[in-house]
Amino acid sequence: MRVGVVVYGPLDCRSGGYLYDRRVADGLRARGDTVVRVSLPETGPRRALAHNLRPAVRRRLAALDVDVLLVDELCHPSLAFCPLPAPAVAVVHHLRASEPGSAPRRRVDRALERRFLARCDAYVCNGETTRATVAELVDPHPVVVARPGWNRLVDGPPEGAAPRDPDAPLRVVTVGTVLPRKGHPTLLDGLARVDAPWTLDVVGSTPAPGYVAALRARTAALGVADRVRFRGRVSDDRLCERLRDADVFAMPSTYEGYGIAALEAMGVGCPVVASAAGGAREFVDGENGVLVDPGDAAGVARAVGRYARDPAALGAATEAALETVRAHPTWTETATRVRAFLRSL
């Protein structure tokens, strides 16, 4: 089978969506399929609309010799009006229209995404939450729900973290591109209310230096600058070490299509404090972590405070997190499910 994969820029692990695309592509190659990457120029949404008029983009898509075309849905501004070879399959991580924003921007996003999705022949969704949001715009049929794998950082069965020193501060980690959607202000405000010792590692690339500077200023204003460390982007090995060293993973995003970083944290025994807006509702059940509403700093404080003050609750949540990933698909199983769906087309 020859499969085309359309993404913005290189197919690396800059975000959960790119990780998903890359793991599926790697899984297809491992089974003998040929994967042809089509890289669209990375730009802002408005400039991306001009891609629809570029003859070079149209010629490249028309000339593809593939059996099926996988298109990352985040490329929708570039392809909403551009002919797509059939069968074209949208890989949907989350809809941009699901993110908070101004009403005019969301209306534009919704219109463009509806147009793009309506021109696709089939859909791969990372969860039932995403499938439901797609169904609000188009009839997603045929469709497959292929949940992300949890085991990128762990070679083998899930293993718990080392025993925690009860006298040490609670070690909290958050992982993801340091951008406003990830809810860092809510996390900082919530942690500042916790009446128990804690530390926070912020891990992730920092494409917006001004935003990072504002977060640093916020830590100073809250009086917690000495407990917060900005680590930047790190290697997978180093990320695994950070997660193993942590007691709790926290990311109260304004919206998260699924939450692969939270799932990976569970794979090393971290209970999570995650956003109730988005796909984390599909695997965070109150036993293995806590869901909080976007912007709910008090909810973050209650969840983290309980884990900091109650070692038994933290231990039970750790074991529940491990049980969750034991029953969750691996990346191999995810790719196998997507491949079977593509062959059926």
Q: What is the pLDDT of residues 283-335, one digit of tens each?
A: 999 999 999 999 999 999 999 999 999 999 999 999 999 999 999 999 999 99
User: Could you read off the pLDDT of 202-258 as tens digits, one per residue?
Assistant: 999 999 999 999 999 999 999 999 999 999 999 999 999 999 999 999 999 999 999
Q: Locate the domains of the chain by residue range.
A: 2-148+329-344, 170-326
Assigned fold of 170-326: Rossmann fold (3.40.50)
Spatial distance between the Cα atoms of 2 and 155, rounded to a whole number of angstroms: 29
Higher-pLDDT residue of 15, 332: 332
C-alpha separations of 1 from 36, 106, 303 in Å:
11, 37, 48
- Say if residue 16's pLDDT is above 90: no
Q: Name the amino acid, one letter, at 203.
A: V
Say if residues 30 and 330 touch (Cβ distance below 8 Å): no
Lowest mean pLDDT among 21-30, 43-52, 77-86, 123-132: 43-52
pTM for the whole structure: 0.93
Q: Tell me the sheet residues that pair with 290.
A: 273
**Two tokens, residue 282:** 């599909």
* 136-159 burial: b if 16+ Cβ within 10 Å, else e: ebbebeebbbbbbbbbbbbeeebe
pLDDT at position 329, please? 96
At 135, give phi and psi (nearest 5°). Answer: -65, -20
What one-character-per-residue DSSP string does 203-225 give?
ES--S-HHHHHHHHHHHHHHT-G
Exposed/middle/buried for residue 211 (C-beta within 10 Å: 0-12, 13-18, 19+): middle
pLDDT at position 56, please? 87
pLDDT at position 12, please? 77
Q: Which residues does 106 contact at the CB level (< 8 Å), separation at least 6?
A: 97, 99
Confirm or reject CATH 3.40.50.300 for domain 2-148+329-344, answering yes or no.
no
Sign of CA dihedral 286, 147, 179, 201: positive
Domains 2-148+329-344 and 170-326 share a fold: yes
